[in-house]
Chain A
Amino acid sequence: MLCSHCHERSASVHFTIIINGSKTEIHLCDSCAHESAGMDFSQDDGFILDSLLTGMFSEKLSLHELCHAEEDAIICPVCGSSLHDIALSGRIGCSECFNVFSSSLKEIIRNIQGTSEFDGKRPSVSGVTGWCQEVALLKKELEKAVRVENYEQAAVLRDRILDIEREEGSHKAELSNME
């Protein structure tokens, strides 16, 4: 199996990416993976996906294209990253980036992972992070309420979620999308 990139050497790494809904099989040889990612094989195979991020397959996916214009001028207050920095390096700077560049990052994640919906374990410790679980549950309830058109209940749930998030002082509410 020849390398998808150089078409010269035999591939040793194989995976599939989904871009705009269509599946593409990618096969890379050691050199191309190294060249595109700028690093050796990581045990974690992060480099493979690095090659996507740094535009190796730029005819198919460019991080810059996925960024939302309104977030272009923002600089992250914690790490100083701009969207341009992130798109160029394929690396996010800190946790706060996910708040200030929320739309663009979600778009990027959606394109790379096929979805921007999280489904997995949550920090279970109550206190600093335990509220996440409560908010997640409340949001599910809110969705249900909206679906069955129980807007009174939805409003109550929405207010409760806003209260918690305000208390914790953390990320923006996505609730405006629900209304």
Chain B
Amino acid sequence: MDKDSPVRTVLSSRIRLARNIAGVAFPSRQSEQDAQKIISMVRNCIGELSEKTSQHWDFSMMEGIPDVERHVLKERHIISPEFARSGNGRALLVREDGKTSVMINEEDHLRIQCVHEGLALESAYEEASFVDEMLEGRLNYAFRDDIGYLTSCPTNVGTGLRASVMMHLPAIGMYDKMPKVIDALSMAGLIVRGMYGEGSNVFGDIYQISNQITMGIDEASTIEKLKCFIMQVASQEELLRKHLITDGLLDFTDKAWRSYGVLKYARCLGLQEAMQMISDVMLAVDIGIIECTNRSILQEIVDGLGTASIMKAVGDEIPHRERLIFRAKWVRDLLIHGEGADEHVR
């Protein structure tokens, strides 16, 4: 991602569509037969889906996916924590590039999801919508023209759309403006969540912002509105980054370089401290303190820091201490060599 791009503060965009099939109980009330029925109905669509998207789709029954693998999927935001824990009667379809997926029998029969890097809500929506329309042509969707798409939870009824972004907002955090930003966004009907940690203990300065309402507003307007607020928050972040530069950079420069030093040379790394340090380095790179030719490496580190990802890379469940050591080595390798991390972590 271009470090001068105006929305570099948006790390990723996600579109999720909730859909159900008419006449079959929703997952909260479904029998095992119902669950299998839904799964086979969707499986029958895979051929056409692959053909129309010109990509291979991987199908797996959740019960066949080992624990570590499930948690990796969860850490990579491909499935929800609830889905990661689930037992029988659930399945997952993932497109070969890993960007688009369909959870089968999570809270609804179908949860179509697409994740793109950076601010890319419209293109993520287009891809999710394409899959949606293809499936709708083969399946009898539960829909009423007065209420819209019928979902298990009334909070999703209507468009069934949850649009969200992950934003990196370290300067807003540093100038203690986060409460104000949160106020403004929640009053506008958006949900704001610190991704790591709680309240003032949020570390990594990464927040998820999403729409709340799915009735009375159409998809394009939902995305437009979210985007509008995101741009305002992004501008605020960029403005405060400029202040950071003019306000005397030494404290932060020192902090960032120390973080970089630790990431590059430490022998043990905890998740929380690593997240915070990566956040410092990302900001430092963005404002030109630290030079980095390949910014995507930082994103790769963010994505692979999690416990499950580490264990998967090792190929085994390892105790806490071992994970600290492995995480440190993995980050070192990425930073020093600029590439070549264990491909299992991807």
A residues adjacent to B (C-beta < 8 A): 1-2, 9-16, 23, 25-27, 29-30, 39-46, 48-50, 52-53, 78-81, 89-96, 98, 105-106, 108-109, 112-125, 128-129, 132-133, 135-136, 139, 170-171, 174
Q: Is B9 an interface residue (CB 8 A)?
A: no
Q: Given that A13-B191, A25-B183, A95-B23 are known contacts, is A123 also in contact with B136, CB under 8 Å in the complex?
A: yes
Contact code string B150-190 (vs A, CB < 8 Å = 1, else 0): 11111111110110100000000000000100110111111
Asked if B24 and A94 sit within 8 Å, CB to CB, the answer is yes
In whole angstroms, how far apart are the Cα atoms of A139 and B191 in the complex? 34
Q: Are A29 and B215 touching (Cβ within 8 A)?
A: no
Partner of A121, one of B24, B80, B210, B218: B218
Q: What separation, in Å, do the CA atoms of A121 and B222 have in the docked complex?
A: 12
**Residues of the B chain whose Cβ atoms lie less than 8 Å from the Cβ of A25:** 183, 186-187
Among B21, B142, B147, B210, find the residue whose CB has the most chain A CB atoms closer than 10 A: B147
Who on chain B is nearest to A11 by CB?
A: B199
**Interchain CB contact under 8 A, B147 and A109:** yes
- Contact call A13/B193, Cβ cutoff below 8 A: yes
Q: Mark B250-294, 1 if CB is under 8 A from A, else 0.
A: 000000000000000000000000000000000000000000000
Given A113-B158, A122-B143: A95 in contact with B215 (beta carbons within 8 A): no
Q: In whole angstroms, what is the CA distance A170 to B147 when docked?
A: 14
Q: How far is the CB of A30 from chain B (nearest CB, A)?
A: 6
* Total contacting residues, chain B, CB less than 8 A: 75
Closest CB-CB distance, B270 to chain A, in whole Å?
Answer: 19
A177 to chain B, nearest CB (A): 11
In the bound complex, do residue B154 and residue A129 qualify as a contact, i.e. CB atoms below 8 Å apart? no
Interface contact B182-A1, CB-CB below 8 Å: yes
Interface string of B126-164 (1 = CB under 8 A from A): 000100010011001111111111111111111101101
The minimal Cβ–Cβ distance linking B100 to chain A, given in whole angstroms, is 15
Q: Please give, as numbers and ranges, the residues of chain B lying within 8 Å of A122 by CB-CB distance.
A: 143, 145, 148
Residues of chain B within 8 A of A27, CB atoms compared: 182
Q: How far is the CA of A117 from the CA of B142 in the complex (A)?
A: 17
Q: Please determine whether A92 and B148 come into contact, CB atoms closer than 8 angstroms.
A: no
Q: Is the CB of A129 within 8 A of B198?
A: no
Task: Let me know if A30 and B152 touch, CB within 8 A.
Answer: no
Question: Top 10 A-B pairs ranked by shortest CB distance?
Answer: A10-B199, A95-B142, A118-B148, A115-B216, A49-B155, A113-B215, A79-B25, A120-B159, A12-B198, A40-B81
Q: Which residues of B contact A (CB under 8 A)?
A: 14, 16, 20-26, 28-30, 77, 79-82, 85, 107, 111, 129, 133, 136-137, 140-159, 161-162, 164, 179, 182-183, 185-194, 197-202, 210, 212-219
Interface of A is mostly: loop
Among candidates B85, B161, B199, B214, residue contacting A9 with C-beta atoms closer than 8 Å: B199
Q: How far is the CB of A109 from chain B (nearest CB, A)?
A: 5
Alpha-carbon distance A105/B148, docked complex (angstroms): 13
**Given A12-B198, A92-B154 in contact, is the A43-B25 Cβ separation under 8 Å?**
no
How far apart sit A112 and B20, CA to CA, in the bound complex (Å)? 20
Q: Which chain B residue lies CB-closest to A131?
A: B145
Bound CA span A100–B240, Å: 54
A106 and B147 contact, Cβ closer than 8 Å, known pairs A12-B198, A16-B189, A93-B25: yes
Chain A residues within an 8 Å CB radius of B198: 9-12, 29-30
Q: Which of B150, B183, B197 contacts A12 (CB 8 A)?
A: B197
What are 16 A-B pairs with beta-carbon distances under 8 A? Answer: A2-B199, A13-B194, A14-B193, A16-B186, A25-B186, A43-B14, A45-B210, A91-B29, A95-B150, A98-B147, A116-B147, A118-B215, A120-B214, A125-B137, A129-B136, A136-B145
Inter-chain contact A46/B156, CB cutoff 8 Å: yes
In the complex the two chains form, what is the Cα distance from A174 to B85 in whole Å?
Answer: 41
Taking a contact as CB atoms under 8 Å apart, the answer to whether B143 and A129 are in contact is yes
Which residues of A sit under 8 angstroms from B153, Cβ to Cβ?
A: 46, 49-50, 53, 90-92
Contacts A118-B146, A125-B136, A125-B137; A92 near B152 (Cβ below 8 A): yes
Q: Are B23's CB and A78's CB within 8 A?
A: yes
Q: Determine the chain A residues whose CB is within 8 A of the CB of B140 once the complex forms.
A: 128-129
- Is the beta-carbon distance between A79 and B190 smaller than 8 angstroms? no
Residue pair B193, A112 in contact (C-beta under 8 Å): no
Q: Report chain A residues within 8 Å CB of B142.
A: 94-95, 98
Please judge, given known A-B contacts A16-B187, A135-B145, whether A120 and B137 are in contact too, CB under 8 Å. no
- Whole-angstrom CA separation of A14 from B186 in the bound complex: 6
Residue of B nearest to A122 (CB): B145
